[in-house]
Structures are given as C-alpha cells and as structure tokens.
Amino acid sequence: MKKIILILFLTMNAMNSQEKLPFYEITDIPNEINSTNLMVRMIEGLGFRYHWATENITEKDLKYRPSKDAMSNYETIEHIYDLSNTIYNSSKSLPNIRSKKKTSMDFISLRKETLNNLKLTREVFTSFNDEDLKNVKIIFQDKSRKYEFPIWNLINGPISDAIYHTGQLVSFRRTSGNPIPKGVNVFLGAKN
C-alpha cells in the first residue's frame, strides 16, 4: 500500500512540475481594434492552433506521411519551427540567414521552441504602436544578397504558411488515428 501511495505521489508531483507551454488559450479580447492588436491576435491564433495540434502527439503521428513524396508530420513541425524563427526575427527586423544546415532537435524541443518564438513575437508586437509596426522589415539574407519586404509579406508569407501547415498536422493526426484533444475551440481560443 505504501508503494502505491508513493507512486501516486511521485506521478502527481511530476505532472505538476511539467512546464506549461504558451498558448494553452488566447488572451482576452483587446479593447481597441488597431494594426498592432490585429497582428498580435494572428500570432495568438497561430500559437493556439499549433499548441493543440501538437499536444499529445505520438511517435506514430510524427512518422506519418500521406504519400512517399510528402513531408512527414515531424518534417512539417521542423518547417513550422523555421517559420516561427522567421516570424520572430522579422518582428525585430533582424535578418533571416538562409542556411542549408538542417535543425536536429527532438520533437519536444521543437514544439517548445516554436511556441516560445511565437510568445516572444507576441511580446514584441504588443509593445509596438502602429508606427512601429509599419517600420517592421522582413529581411532574408544569404552570402551575397539581402532582400527586404514590408510587414504585409509577413502576413501572407510565414504566418499564413505556418497556419496552413498547422492545419495539415491536425488533418494528418486524424488520419493516423490520434485526433487533437476534445474540447479545443479555435473560434473562442479556449479548451472546454
């Protein structure tokens, strides 16, 4: 009996000590509609969807690919991580350096870093006024060239791409037999 109590205590303690990752839910609705609040809400919507699309994902889910030429869920998660880096760097008008070197992180690290990149982006944008936002530049750079784009390209580029690929994760999880947790409401930005 003492062993059972000890095991239960240790299990509950381990569960309580797990780090709560960002975007479990979306923040309250802002009082004002402006460019900055709209951008923050887009990041929160992406973060919320990604949080739940990757919650309780299994090894089977990570390996799933719909066809031999398609990316696996794990490769899609790597791509979303790269997009989150681009989104964060762009929020600070930092260059995104093109590299052929692939990320080698485990799923848990990729998920945590992606959500933290989005959290940091939200914090940067929250501190901006509309003029600050207008001055954001998306910068891509390689050894010989540098390209700059206005913030509009962040919306129809990396943010939209990350939302699109997050939807793929949701669909592929359902196909591999492990749908996202019940009660996730993307309309309300909460889990019931």
Report how far residue 85's alpha carbon sits from residue 148's, in angstroms, rounded to the nearest whole number: 16
pLDDT grade for 11, boundaries at 50, 70 and 90: very low
Which amino acid is residue 170, in one-letter code? V
pLDDT score, position 59: 95
Domain count, the chain: 1
Q: What is the mean pLDDT of the chain?
A: 90
* pTM score, whole prediction: 0.88
Q: What are phi and psi of 19, to 5 degrees?
A: -70, 130
Q: What is the mean pLDDT of residues 184-191?
A: 95
Q: What is the mean pLDDT of residues 87-111?
A: 90
Report how far residue 68's alpha carbon sits from residue 42's, in angstroms, rounded to the nearest whole number: 32
Range of the domain at 133: 2-191
30-68 residues labelled b (16+ CB within 10 A) or e (exposed): eeeeebbbebbbbbbbbbbbbbbbbeebeeebbebeeee
- In this structure, the dihedral spanned by the alpha carbons of residues 84, 90, 95 and 97, taken in order and rounded to 10 degrees, is 20
Checking if the pLDDT of 176 tops 60, the result is yes
Other beta carbons less than 10 A from residue 98's beta carbon: 11
Residue 84's nearest CA partner among 138, 22, 29, 162 is 162
CATH (domain of 54): 1.20.120.450
pLDDT grade for 143, boundaries at 50, 70 and 90: confident
